[in-house]
Amino acid sequence: MKSNDVILQTATKVVLFIILAFSVFIFFNGHHEPGGGFIGGLMTASAIVLLMLAYDLEMVKRILPFDFKVVTAAGLLVAIGTGLGSFLFGVPFLSQTFDYFTFPVLGELELATALLFDIGVYLVVVGVTLTIIQTIGEDQ
Partner 1 sequence: MSFQLIINLIIAVIWMFLNNAWTVSGLVSGYVIGLGILFLLRNFFPSRFYFIGVMAILKLIVIFLKELILSSFEVMGQIMQPKLNIQPGIFAMDIELKQEWEVTVLSCLITLTPGTLVVNVSPDNKTLYIHAMHLPDVEKAKRDIKNTFEKAIQGVSR
Chain contacts with partner 1 (rule: CB under 8 A): 1-4, 6-7, 9-11
Q: What end-to-end distance do the CA atoms of the chain give, in Å? A: 23
CB of 121 to partner 1, least distance (A): 36
CB of 5 to partner 1, least distance (A): 9
CB of 106 to partner 1, least distance (A): 15
* Residue with smaller CB distance to partner 1, 6 or 106: 6
CA atoms of 119 and 110, how far apart (whole Å): 16
From the list 50, 65, 70, 75, the residue with the least C-alpha distance to 133 is: 50
* Residue with smaller CB distance to partner 1, 10 or 97: 10
Helix axis angle, 37-54 to 6-28, nearest 10°:
170
* Residue with smaller CB distance to partner 1, 4 or 140: 4
The one-letter code for the residue type at 112 is A
Give the H or E element holding residue 113. Answer: none
CB of 110 to partner 1, least distance (A): 24
* Residue with smaller CB distance to partner 1, 3 or 140: 3
